[in-house]
A and B are shown apart, each in its own frame.
Chain A
Amino acid sequence: MTFDLLFYSSLILLAVGMVVKITQWFSYRIGIQTQNSTFSQRLGSSLKAIPGVIFSPKIGIILKVFILDVLLQYRILKEDILRWVMHMLIFWGFILLFFMHALETVVSDAILPGYFSTVNPYMFLRDFFGCMVLIGIAIAICRRLFLKVPRLSTNKCDVYAIFIVTTIIFSGIFLEGAKIISYTDFQNMEQDYSALEYKEDIFALEAYWVKHYGLVSPNIKGEISQEILSAGEELHNESCLDCHTKPQAAFTGYAVSRIMEPVGGLLDRMGFVTFLYYFHILACFIGLALLPFTKMLHIITTPVSLITGAIMQRDKSDPLNIATRQLIELDACVHCNTCSKTCSQASACDIKNNINILPSERMLSLRQYFKTNDLGSSQFMAIQEGIYLCSNCDRCTVVCPAGINLKELWYDVREDFIRSGEIITPLVLSPFSYNRTYNQDDFNATLSDMPARHAKGIIASKYKKKARSEEPLSLTDTDTEFNASKDHSLAEDTFSYCFSCENCTNVCPVVLNYEKPEEAVDLLPHQIMRSLGLGLKDLVLGSNMLWDCVTCYQCQEHCPQNVKVTDILYELKNEVAKDCFYSQKE
């Protein structure tokens, strides 16, 4: 009765949770192509696509992915053997326990010959599978605590996942141990299966079970005579042997029973078996009910991600379905950190102090972002920086064991983050922007340098622009502090050697490109060097030349005075980035 109540409530919670999750997958907006799609459109286009996949050669790909990547987890093996051993032990141990033990009335009774949970090989196998999971868990804990896996971080979702699986398995093992020593359980079994009439017979059987089956009985103390034992054995052979193997086969439960033996009688009288029973099933049901909202959801989402990733193509699949897949992928991420370990830009995280630079951490932030859609400007800025600080080497996508198409996710979400809102990262003014123009046809970006223009606008509004050509420059509002206050680098100091020969400007391919270069780039390279000497801070920092510089080093190469022109421009750009943009955080 209680079991049914708990079981069905957890099933209902699971169903409700899954409905919530599925609704989210089909209704949250992600990327730029699906801005105005509705829940029904998204669901409709998925349902439309499914038959087309099932009745096509793609079914072969699905089978291959299911066997190789889901069942054998080949993608994990390719990256990390220890992690593969760990995950295979947990995955197969748990799956086999689930079907053989948890679903015994449905599965085992129907398909396994002569199934009894108390008979070998099943009694042994149950413990063996449990033991597999425990070894896997032990490796997982070791990896997180002792082995210094680069960039591996542990959050509360990871702790929960380890905790719930450990609790389920340990409570099961203790329950088994408590049952082995339980006198109450012995009495029940004796009544159910042998129903002996005489007290002496019961005593003999009891004695045999104490001696060979690990039972703790209040009636049996001290040495038992051989006679009683052989009488017990006879009775045992008659009524018990056929369906009860010696508990030593259940090696983990038996080991625990030996630990509990000294206090076995007391535990039994306190109803320890019942307590552990409810504890065990409650742990299982909690795990089941919370499945949609915990990391354990990956047992559903990760196979979906692996399979959809293998059969969907950006240029052929419906953009609505890609959006839905990307939302499922966010839930398929198990925070295993394989991507962050291989990320080309991971080291920037150590300088920038922004964990969103690491793809695995960014996944968590994005999950949060799509749920609430408003995380405050500083978190928005942090994710934007993280997602833009990406050299698009695609290494994360290649290694992701969950088959998440991270590359495409970054493409789409990046567009979301740069097109919405006023806040923009100075990184749009760096070669990180290259990829957006390079791939502009993929996300129909007509003006792919728009974010950079936006950033230049912010810079222009911050620094006063150069007065138009005819007007003489005013030297009265110069910033004498500007040069004195800064922590000068060796390169930057060299501007003072400039004697305005204009060699730098004459060899500059950017200057050469324009008929009226002053209008396009504001200050010509030699003018920047001179203005630095005069302390014309706004003029220098607000100049477009900084961002139009192609860093070809022609100017620096041709300077007769050894002014490090290009290096100075780099330093000025750094200063503008810090000055104009990071202050937006506050």
Chain B
Amino acid sequence: MKKFALFIGCNIPAKVEQYETSARAVLKKLDIDIVDIKAFNCCGYPLKNTDQTAWLLSSARNIALAEQKGFEILTLCKCCFGSLKKANAVLNEDNNIKLEINKILEKEGLQYQGNSSISHYLSILHDDITIEDLNKKTIDHYNDLNIATHYGCHALRPSEIMKFDDPVSPTLFDNLVEVTGAKSIEWPSKLDCCGAPVLGINNDLSYDLTEKKLSNAKKAGADFICVACPWCYMQFDKIQGQIALKRSSEYNLPSILYTQLLGLRLGIGQKELGIQIPGNSDNEQVKQAFSKLFDTKEKKVKKKKTKKKTIKKKVEKKETQTSE
């Protein structure tokens, strides 16, 4: 088994702590060992707009730290994932920048080589643990839960570098959601941006993009919008609240982290996963959505088998695609 260093980034410890706790709980349940590298710094993503060299240095330092200890980086955030992986590609393509960056890293006794792999949490679940194994480990299924998956831009694109999934019709996240027995609904703008990258730069635009996604997911009958990135989560969570206040357009579509969605079906406690049921919400839809999280049924063995086959096919298909 590969050895992973967990890369939690900047937003999670400060604003989405439950993502870290739930992600760790799930990994523990699945017997995956991870280490923490305390010296990790920001992936550099926010620096890209104004100074790409500073971004490359930030990313390279993290990769160098992981390489020094012989670990692969496992990110929780899609933007950290995108930023680190893109930096990897740029540095491997441009030797001059690589030399310049290594000159700075040398002062700390670090060296960027570019051999270490960077994976997102979802890829590890899907490709290393596999849907089959996850299926075995779930204790039961959601009875009736409709989930709108939000893929997150920086994991999918540019696909030639990210190699996360098919950029036009990805299935990875949907497969992972369906393993819990929930239904991954089809909905428009599923692959679009959540709006987070321009919040603070152009709030109206950011709110517009978030609103559009919320409205589309709601119309398609989602109980939850499911994410695996702190930026997207913050956008659909707290920023949804801001939109409701400022624009008086309420969607009442709660968001859930994938680690929480899966964790519940692996038998991990609600508290450990950091799932907070909004107590003072008088909105029936929100209440109903959360109650559905605890409405479960037994796994159907027969159905599972057929499902497995199709999933297997999909995985194979994907493999042939990437090998091409």
Contact = CB atoms under 8 A, between A and B. Distances in A.
A52 interface: no
Contacts of A430: 46-50, 201
Chain A interface bracket (under 10, 10 to 19, 20 to 34, 35 or more): 35 or more
A344 B41 contact: yes
A472 B38 CA distance: 57
A393 B42 contact: yes
Contact of A574 (B13, B50, B189): B50
Given A348-B58, A550-B153, A438 B50 contact: no
A523 to B, nearest CB: 16
A552 B201 contact: no
A550 B57 CA distance: 22
A464 interface: no
A513 B198 CA distance: 13
Given A348-B58, A509-B192, A550-B195, A438 B239 contact: yes
Interface stretch (B202-210, B261-269, B287-295, B312-320): B202-210
A452 interface: yes
B200 interface: yes
Majority SS of interface residues in chain B?
helix
Contacts of B206: 437
A431 B203 contact: no
A352 B51 contact: yes
Given A513-B208, A553-B158, A570 B49 contact: yes
A553 B201 contact: no
A547 B202 contact: yes
Given A437-B203, A452-B200, A552-B193, A427 B50 contact: yes
A556 B158 contact: yes
B234 interface: yes
Nearest to B50: A577
Interface string B151-192: 001101111000000010000000000000000000001001
A395 B12 CA distance: 11
B54 A509 contact: no
A429 B49 contact: yes
A489 B50 CA distance: 16
A431 B58 contact: no
A393 B10 contact: yes
Contacts of A433: 199-201
A391 B45 CA distance: 10
Contacts of B193: 509, 550, 552
Nearest to B100: A351
A350 B57 contact: yes
B52 interface: yes
A248 interface: no
A556 B61 contact: no
A394 B12 CA distance: 10
Contacts of B309: none
B301 interface: no
Nearest to B51: A574
A395 B199 CA distance: 23
B93 interface: yes
A46 to B, nearest CB: 29
Q: Which 5 A-B pairs have the closest CB atoms?
A: A433-B200, A393-B10, A553-B157, A552-B153, A391-B10
Interface of B: 9-11, 13-15, 38, 41-42, 45-54, 57-58, 61, 93-94, 104, 107-108, 153-154, 156-159, 167, 189, 192-193, 195-203, 205-206, 208-209, 212, 231, 234, 238-239, 242
Given A430-B50, A438-B15, 17 more contacts: A350-B57, A392-B10, A426-B49, A428-B200, A429-B50, A429-B201, A430-B46, A431-B46, A432-B46, A434-B231, A435-B200, A440-B242, A548-B198, A548-B205, A552-B154, A566-B158, A577-B49
